Amino acid sequence: MKIHEFQAKRILASHGIPVPKGEVTDTPAGARGIAGPLGGHVVVKAQIHAGGRGKGGGVRMARSPEEAERVASQILGMMLK
């Protein structure tokens, strides 16, 4: 069975295991909206069923909601394998 990172976090949290705060979105504007309440400093991650997403550019740091939106726009347009 393959699950995305966000799904695994939900399962762990449902069993009382601490997980980092985070949300899932499929739009750059959504990333901006999520980053604000989290303090602006976030990691934007592609959710794929393959390893190496960080090496392929699918995991990026953002230091502001505006940067999160920009980074999400770039990641959402990528082909990751």
Task: Give the chain's mean pLDDT.
Answer: 88
Rounded to 10 deg, the angle between the 28-35 and 65-76 helix axes is 150
Let me know if domain 23-76 sits in CATH 3.30.1490.20: yes
Residue 46 pLDDT:
84
User: Is pLDDT at 12 greater than 90 in this prediction?
Assistant: yes
Domains of the chain, by residue range, sit at: 23-76
Residue 54 pLDDT:
65
Neighbouring C-alpha atoms within 13 Å toward the C-beta of 9: 11
